[in-house]
Structure 1
Amino acid sequence: MTDLFEHPALAQPTGPHGRRSAARQRAAAKRRRRRRLRTTIVVAVVLAVIGGVAWTTWDNVSGLLHNPFARSAADYPGPGDKPIEVEIPEGATGTQMGGALKDAGVVASVGAFTDAFALNPAAAGIQPGTYSLLAHMKASDAVAALVKNEKVETKVTIPEGFTAAQVFDRVASVTTVTKDKLDAAVKDPASIGLPAEAGGKVEGWLFPATYTVQPGDDATTLLKAMVGKTVAELDGQGVAPADREDVLKTASLVEREAKFAPDRPKMARAIKNRLATDMPLQIDASVAYGLDKPGTELTTADTKNADNPFNTYVHKGLPPTPIANPGASSIEAVVHPAAGDWVFWTAVNLDTGETKFAVTWQEHQKNVSELRAWQAANGQR
């Protein structure tokens, strides 16, 4: 009788057929082991790839997401000490901001900053720019300071009608950009984007506006912004590149002569009418620009001085360059002048700037008499 619990080895079949069966079983087992090994390797590679992607993704968004399982990162107790200026680049993530602040010595670690960044709902609104912070700040305080978006910057306003010299004086008086640096920058017209039609002369191309100057901005950066605004304004009003300089020359005359917006299109038309009939423009503002003196101080001798290329009494046509930097409304007046036959104009009240236009010499002389009466009544010549 066979023992039901006999040793398995004793139950192996014998003979040729039994030996072949055992060999097949061993080969099958070996194949199974190889398959299991290959599967293990594939799984390990897949997990490694997933882990790398997960780490990269986490590093990119760690400034926006908070990991509740992360250990607390090194942080300063605050409130901080010496002032430090730090630049936040355009498009910086929370991690990149933290890196910049860590390198500058503002926060103790990137991790502390990204944790604080994730916990502050306003952090996503931090704007690029230069900020004044403190060394050794608590990370949450650094984030709170940044979300205020109180950047270290200076605003400089250039009024309509300023000359280039006046623009440089204004910039130098309110920013760290010196006049010497501005003078040096205009000697390289291409670096500031000055178009070829300007002939290397910056006058008229520095658009009147308010500009924001960051600590790292230089003279070239600022002047390029001004020139760029002028080009954009001319393009926006449909001025062809070949006409840009003449439009700016005419607009600068209008800017310096006209006191009221309604007068600008009429004055632009009067100038065009004079040019069309080869009449000298006889504009005092141009004569004064060439002599670098106020228009109120001009003399009869000044209007006869042929050595002044800007003397529109003796030199016909437009002046050699613009005489100021015109604003949008003066440029528009030249592009779209009023309809009329005027060729004369004169202010009749020097306090208010009221100006009257005339078609004939007789009508003009009547307006001049009104001016003389006002001057006599107000103690002016």
Structure 2
Amino acid sequence: MNEPHLSDSIFGGGSDPSDPSAARPKGESAPSHDPVRLPEAPPASRKAAREREAAREREQTGSRRAARAERTRAPRTYDEVKPRRRKPWLPLLMAFVLVFGGGAVAYKTLGLHMPSLGGGSEGGGDFAGEGSGVAKIVVRRGDTGSDIGATLEQAGVVKSGRTFARAFAAEHDAAGLQPGTYTLRKQMSSASALSLMLDPKSHVGDGVTVPEGLWAQEVYARLSKGTGVPLADYAKVDPKQLGLPAAAGGQVEGYLFPSTYEFPDKATATDQLRTMVTEFKRRTASLNIPAGQEQRVMTIASVVQAESKLGEDGPKVARVIENRLRPNPATNGRLQMDSTVHYMLRKRGTVTTTDKQRQSTSPYNTYVHPGLPPAPVDSPGLEAIQAALQPTPGNWLYFVTVNLSTGETRFAATLPEHNKNVAVFQAWCKANPGKC
């Protein structure tokens, strides 16, 4: 016998299109040619059949689900079965990018300044113009560009200490900024503030200026007058407490760097001299003076400082010194520099020496003793030190300043040529009595 047709097969529901009964209206009798006609079941039997059919359908549906579940449990690699971790922050990040990026475009389009995420001036920014009003700030020894920028920002001079620090780093002359008190203005651009600080007129206070070329005793006198420390205290200072280079041999001459200093009110003579030696080290660190050669370099630099007005003449004088130190019959290794004799005598006021003075047996008398004097003969500045390190190439053995007013100096490789230059100098001295 044929089984009754199920309204929903296990293959997905719907009537079988090959079953003629599927096209018959409900309740219509089967055609007479059907081989067997099933008798119509009584109501109770129909209800039981429907329940059996529903149960069978539930059972078959469960089987299909179980089969699908079984297929999904087929063996896979670790990468296939490891759970995918959700990134709960990803939607937030995308939203932030859209909002912040859109805001940045708007700010840029409108030409507005966009503050940093942290707020405040730490992110940068700058005032415009040269400011107004008055503001005084103090630069302390050892302050970096960032330190100075922070001081200026706190005083309301610049908008951002970081912006000032960048301007400071980009300005070559900023390295020479001296400690002390500066008179500036409120709300200045960083460039304007730095430019004003580099103007000596803005530097106020009771600083002590030590020029190039002074002897140590002259440095002491200036320091004593400027700070009120007794002059005798400087002669009592222990050189071992000053941090001098080992090559200096415990001698301060030549290492008291010329500059303007503002010392604390209670700074002792030792404190002041130590500060000057520290400044020497700081200012010459980039020159790369060969280790152990400080004394030789500083001695040559001190003679260059004393014998020239520098400029292009400084390196040429340094070359004359180097050439005269070499063995040659014209000089026998003697420098024959009046400046070393002046140092020996501790006498200022003239550029020449007498025959008697040049006969002294002092080791500083370079007319008698070959080679360099035993130590520097003054405090040379940075330019003279650079000249000593990089002499101009040349074969000169002589030089003479023929005009003391203009500083015109002539160089010669031979003695006859030099004598002609000396005659020019003597003529100038004759025309300017008391100046030679």
Is TM > 0.5 for Structure 1 vs Structure 2?
A: yes
Structure 1 unmatched runs, 5+: 1-87, 92-120, 132-150
Q: Using the alignment, how far apart are the partners of 1:241 and 1:269 within structure 2? A: 21
CA contact (8 A) 1:152 1:214 kept: no
Pairing 1:176–2:231 present: no
What is the letter of the counterpart of residue 241 of structure 2? S
Q: Using the alignment, how far apart are the partners of 2:312 and 2:384 within structure 1? A: 10
Q: Secondary structure at the match of 2:219?
A: helix
Q: Secondary structure at the match of 2:385?
A: helix
Tell me the residue number matched to 1:344.
Answer: 398
> Which sits farther off after the overlay, 173-182 or 156-165?
173-182
Residue from 330, 333, 357 that aligns with 1:279? 333
Pairing 1:210–2:230 present: no
CA contact (8 A) 2:301 2:387 kept: yes
CA contact (8 A) 1:153 1:213 kept: no
Pairing 1:241–2:291 present: yes
The size of the alignment, in residue pairs, is 240
Tell me the residue number matched to 1:156.
Answer: 208
Tell me the residue number matched to 2:271.
Answer: 221
Q: Using the alignment, how far apart are the partners of 2:225 and 2:298 within structure 1? A: 26
- CA distance 1:122–1:337, shift in 2 (3 Å): closer
CA contact (8 A) 2:206 2:262 kept: yes
Q: CA deviation at 1:152?
A: 11
Residue from 305, 309, 312 that aligns with 1:255? 305
Q: CA deviation at 1:178?
A: 2.2
- CA distance 1:181–1:153, shift in 2 (3 Å): farther
Q: Using the alignment, how far apart are the partners of 2:180 and 2:395 within structure 1? A: 55
- CA distance 1:123–1:365, shift in 2 (3 Å): closer
Structure 2 unmatched runs, 5+: 1-139, 144-153, 159-178, 182-202
What is the letter of the counterpart of residue 260 of structure 2? T
> Which sits farther off after the overlay, 329-338 or 194-203?
194-203
Q: Which has the higher contact order (CA 8 A, sep 6+)?
A: 1
Higher helix share: 1
Residue from 377, 380, 389 that aligns with 1:326? 380
Tell me the residue number matched to 1:298.
Answer: 353
Q: Using the alignment, how far apart are the partners of 1:378 and 1:212 within structure 2? A: 40
Tell me the residue number matched to 1:167.
Answer: 219
Q: CA deviation at 1:241?
A: 2.6
CA contact (8 A) 2:246 2:292 kept: no
- CA distance 1:152–1:234, shift in 2 (3 Å): closer
Q: Secondary structure at the match of 1:355?
A: strand
Q: Using the alignment, how far apart are the partners of 2:156 and 2:407 within structure 1? A: 52
Tell me the residue number matched to 1:69.
Answer: none
Q: CA deviation at 1:169?
A: 0.6
Q: CA deviation at 1:321?
A: 1.0
Q: Using the alignment, how far apart are the partners of 2:220 and 2:321 within structure 1? A: 29
- CA distance 1:329–1:344, shift in 2 (3 Å): same
CA contact (8 A) 1:130 1:214 kept: no
CA contact (8 A) 2:310 2:383 kept: no
| Identity among equivalent pairs (%) | 39
- CA distance 1:235–1:184, shift in 2 (3 Å): same
